[in-house]
Chain A
């Protein structure tokens, strides 16, 4: 098949073979893309993930509610003065994931804690008002979060995430 001369310097035949192989590779890779892309969320899922509005007026002090946004549970806690004070008394530098309470709530709405209720360890749902820090306790592997949703004890590496949200009015927030 291949002659000795073609091994030494490229011939037209080599060029043809390389071009054909390259075309097959490019075509194959391009054809693969739809098969990968279809795994992403579809248009209806993306549309259903639009921001939601939550009315806070029925939530009394010391209570919390759970709402769902993009399939994730969001805890909205109406914190007591005591809870806020506890959260702010802790030296930030001593925390596993240092973050001040002020940075985790919206200024002027300090009583409202809004966090994604998914343990940063392996994704279980922590229980509110449990554990040693008046915050959240994850029953799966024992992670404990304080009243600011910050990790204090256990295997979880990070604080409970704060979702994107803003206050539309004093008693209404928009998540997303």
Chain B
């Protein structure tokens, strides 16, 4: 794209094509001989990382769509079943869900790099604006994708975000109805979101082509912000930039794989493992982490319309950045003041992200207002002012000169990079689950914790017994089929044992030839029958509170770990909040209600249940279930066993996930090492 190519393929067939469609020449001039500045640092590899992530999201997304059902009654179940039943379905889903977070993480680095090095300045304004358009499309795509699993957060996120448009005077309500295709978020909304979620990534890909085109017309910016002047200032894109980008992608894959294989639910919200319920809003509506700074701005402004305008302005203002910052010097490397304000701006964004995840009360509201002002002040006051008063340091005459002058700065740059990356995670992680007076559950030593965790077969089998004899009287386990009891990584029953277990159950089937329903013994393919025919019956039999389905309970329950534990958890791979909570609730019943706590009629005191008043009576007592293997028949043992069983029920492929994850990590570390040394060899002659 940098002018007419003199590329001539040697193969006659390719020559024939090239004369008629010069696509090879286009690729050759754009990605092979294209001159790329010699002084690019690793921040520039995020462009390649983003291209890779876009491809990854489209590939995994197209595949997930093969197994997904966009219907309000079936969507949640279809996502669960694709994770459980489809070959590698769990892997594909994790890749797509974590991939969205990785995509946004990379885009934020990419954008901040552009801001720091002044990549939006003349002649790259259109390139920058195309980037902002891509970012907006990404936000829309990410939002609609988050709605598709149709969990509680999906549903209420959709409700809250679409309601933003109701702030528009006069036509707001009509626009919202138009978006919904109904009088509330419902099946038509889900259907159109699915359609648009499939469409938008291809629009993004199209704008990316324009983005790359514009990039190749203006040429890449570089850390010194001086345009290449002679051939000595540039190196050919291939092999230099391709191998460097490849190494960058390999390193990024390590981070990505950490989420896919070890922390798949770390960035998600436990509430989204509860099926959408239009009658109950979760206590804290929190968007995905990548929207949090803007969500904080929305909530900081105590007027509906102004809040919505503020939020959208915070993004749109980026389009005007090339004109707000009129400084002639591009790179903040040579702008001592701009550099400091840049880092302050980064901290402001991170803090806004943190506030976006906090409940909108007390000090958080005021802090949010201050930071919102800071956010806009950076664009509207600081940058215009700096371009007038700041005295930049002298800029080198050429890129080669800048390289010669280079000293130990790279180390500092890497240090800053690590701090920034760490800080970004600190700021982005969600911590909204306020304790609400609940006591934090004690930790347990679970056999399935950690990178090599495995389910304890004995605990799974005992837990199944506890479920069958106690829990199943009220709680369904509707995503588990009897056949799952014989699956690898599960309780480890043989096919014959599974068939015998299943045949103890009466399954309703039909209609038969006479059109009547009938009961027959269970088969391996049947799912655990529910104790109640429908939710109303469950509610009526249990004092008004329907006992939740237990298939996902250990993933659908969590509790806030607070700062700094949630950062430690990222590295220690602690993700057993759900099992810890479930085990604690089972043991948290106390006959004596503490002073100052009132428990309504028909409820029971539980130390760990949020609000302490639980409708479930104490389910387990010592000696209630007889164990055949000599394990102690105590409540503590029952709770531990049944929680292990329910963790397996929530994630039957965990052992495969961790096993494959370990293999992937070994490979990626070796591969990244090879890429690093190859990159060094390729670049050896160029420095």
A residues near B, CB below 8 A? 1, 13, 16-17, 19-20, 23-24, 27, 30, 34-35, 37-40, 42-45, 47-48, 50, 58
Q: Return A126 CB to nearest CB of chain B, in Å.
A: 23
Q: Is the CB of A34 within 8 A of B674?
A: no
Stretch at the interface among B80-88, B124-132, B640-648: B80-88
Q: Return B232 CB to nearest CB of chain A, in Å.
A: 16
Q: Return A65 CB to nearest CB of chain B, in Å.
A: 10
CA A45 to CA B481, docked complex, whole Å: 12
Interface string of B618-656 (1 = CB under 8 A from A): 000000000000000000000000000000000000000
Select which of B89, B246, B513, B675 is within 8 A of A38 by beta carbon.
B89
User: 8 nearest interchain CB pairs?
Assistant: A34-B88, A47-B525, A42-B85, A43-B85, A20-B674, A37-B87, A42-B86, A20-B678
Q: Is the CB of B87 within 8 A of A44?
A: no
Question: Which residues in B have their C-beta under 8 angstroms from that of A27?
Answer: 667-668, 671
Report whether over half of chain A's contact residues are helix, strand or loop; otherwise say mixed: helix
CA A50 to CA B482, docked complex, whole Å: 14
**Which residue of chain B lies nearest to A37 when distances are taken between CB atoms in the complex?**
B87
Question: Which residues in B have their C-beta under 8 angstroms from that of A20?
Answer: 671, 674-675, 677-678
Q: Return A93 CB to nearest CB of chain B, in Å.
A: 42
Q: Return A66 CB to nearest CB of chain B, in Å.
A: 12
Question: Which residues in A have their C-beta under 8 angstroms from that of B677?
Answer: 16, 20
Q: Is the CB of B63 within 8 A of A44?
A: no
Question: Which residues in B have their C-beta under 8 angstroms from that of A48?
Answer: 525
CA A24 to CA B671, docked complex, whole Å: 7
Q: Is the CB of A23 within 8 A of B674?
A: yes
For the complex, is B59 an interface residue (Cβ under 8 Å from A)? yes
Interface string of B90-132 (1 = CB under 8 A from A): 0110000000000000000000000000000000000000000
For the complex, is B670 an interface residue (Cβ under 8 Å from A)? yes
Q: Is the CB of B525 within 8 A of A35?
A: no
Question: Which residues in B have their C-beta under 8 angstroms from that of A50?
Answer: 523-525
Residues facing A in B646-687 (CB within 8 A) are 667-668, 670-671, 674-675, 677-678, 681-682, 685
Residue of B67, B87, B92, B239 with highest tally of chain A CB at under 10 A: B87
Question: Which residues in B have their C-beta under 8 angstroms from that of A47?
Answer: 481, 483, 524-525
Total A-B pairs in contact (CB under 8 Å)? Answer: 71
Question: Which residues in A have their C-beta under 8 angstroms from that of B67?
Answer: 38, 42
Using A42-B85, A43-B483, A48-B525 as known contacts, say yes or no to A34 and B92 having CB atoms under 8 A apart.
yes
Question: Which residues in A have their C-beta under 8 angstroms from that of B524?
Answer: 47, 50
CA A47 to CA B677, docked complex, whole Å: 49
**Which residue of chain A lies nearest to B526 when distances are taken between CB atoms in the complex?**
A47
CA A47 to CA B91, docked complex, whole Å: 21
**Given pairs A1-B682, A44-B85, 13 additional interface contacts (CB within 8 A):** A13-B681, A16-B681, A23-B671, A24-B246, A34-B92, A38-B89, A40-B87, A42-B87, A44-B481, A44-B525, A45-B85, A47-B481, A47-B483
Question: Which residues in A have their C-beta under 8 angstroms from that of B487?
Answer: 43
Q: Is the CB of B678 within 8 A of A38?
A: no
Q: Return A61 CB to nearest CB of chain B, in Å.
A: 19
**Which residue of chain B lies nearest to A44 when distances are taken between CB atoms in the complex?**
B85
**Which residue of chain A lies nearest to B684 when distances are taken between CB atoms in the complex?**
A13
Q: Return A153 CB to nearest CB of chain B, in Å.
A: 34
CA A20 to CA B682, docked complex, whole Å: 12
CA A39 to CA B86, docked complex, whole Å: 8
Question: Which residues in A have their C-beta under 8 angstroms from that of B88?
Answer: 34, 37-38
CA A19 to CA B677, docked complex, whole Å: 11
Select which of B66, B81, B92, B674 is within 8 A of A44 by beta carbon.
B81
Question: Which residues in A have their C-beta under 8 angstroms from that of B481?
Answer: 44, 47
Q: Is the CB of A35 within 8 A of B85?
A: no
Q: Is the CB of B87 within 8 A of A34?
A: yes
